[in-house]
Amino acid sequence: MQNSQQQAYDRGITIFSPDGRLYQVEYAREAVKRGTPSVGVRTQDGVVLAAAKRTRSPLVEGDSVEKIHKVDDHVGIASAGHVADARSLIDFARRRAQIESLRYGQPIGVETLTKAITDHVQEYTQTGGARPFGVSLLVGGVEDGQPRLYETDPSGTPYEWKAVAVGGDREEIQRFLEEHYREDADLDAGIDLAIEALASVDDDFDTTQVSVATVDVETGSLRMLDDDELATITDELDLEDEE
């Protein structure tokens, strides 16, 4: 009897279990843990987004695996979890940013954009015939000259962070960030920290399997680091495995 009741709570996204849990939301969080990790670091000079990429075959074009996306000139998003769900939410975020720009003639705030995304995500935790989004996003950008970094949860809850990891090995990476984060770090130090955090849980760390983007306060623009820049940073940090 208890087994059949458990299954009923499992299947119904709109049904709370007797102990107040929505199992489908918890399963969505498990989907996030199965994704490759993404890291966000906020510094006094801007925000860094870094993401590990996974390719199923050496024949896959690495550039086709996107983990960091430009939403507006001043905002980027890194994802962890179900890739198709991430793309859907990023398209939503881009539309929301364009609406704000057309309606008010100014860039959308990072906090406003994040809460619009999480409001949309939350609707899918209480709608019959739907399922939660199996993805967490890191929303980083510059708002009124200040760097901002947010995490979205499959439950529809936003959190603001100084440094955060989502996806696989989150606990280990988060501990690394907590031990090494410095309030006075500049943007270059933030890039180093983000890359080192991803490398700390990867015995076969490969710079070609990492994407890094920054949004700096001075320009207020998102910039993707190219492969040569990443290779140089990795060499300086001595992170590449030696054969």
CA distances in angstroms from 127 to 14, 24, 27, listed in the order given: 6, 12, 16
CA distances in angstroms from 210 to 31, 71, 89, 139, listed in the order given: 21, 19, 22, 18
pLDDT tens across 114-158, in order?
999 999 999 999 888 889 999 999 999 999 999 999 999 999 999
- Domains recognised in the chain with CATH numbers: 20-237 (3.60.20.10)
Tokens of 195: 């890359």
Buried residues in 137-175 as b, exposed as e (16+ CB within 10 A): bbbbbbbeeebbbbbbbbbbebeebbbbbbbbbbeebbe
Q: How confident is the model at residue 1 (pLDDT cuts 50, 70, 90)?
A: very low
What are the residues whose beta carbons fall under 8 Å from the beta carbon of 195, sequence distance 6 or more? 50, 210, 212, 230, 233, 234, 237, 239
Q: Is 36 a catalytic residue?
A: yes
Higher pLDDT, 24 or 1: 24
Q: How confident is the model at residue 207 (pLDDT cuts 50, 70, 90)?
A: confident
Segment holding 55, helix H or strand E: none
Within 10 A of 16 (CB to CB), how many other CB atoms are there? 11
Confidence check: pLDDT of 179 > 70: yes
pLDDT tens across 2-52, in order?
555 556 667 677 788 888 888 899 999 999 999 999 999 999 999 999 999
Confidence check: pLDDT of 242 > 50: no
**Mean pLDDT calculated for residue range 147-175:** 96
**Mean pLDDT calculated for residue range 89-110:** 96
**Mean pLDDT calculated for residue range 91-106:** 95
Within 10 A of 220 (CB to CB), how many other CB atoms are there? 18
Higher pLDDT, 111 or 61: 111
Given the residues 36, 114, 118, 152, the one annotated as active site? 36
Letter for the amino acid at 9?
Y
pLDDT tens across 44-78, in order?
999 999 999 877 777 777 777 789 999 999 999 99
The Cα 208–Cα 226 span in angstroms is: 10
For residue 243, what pLDDT is reported? 42
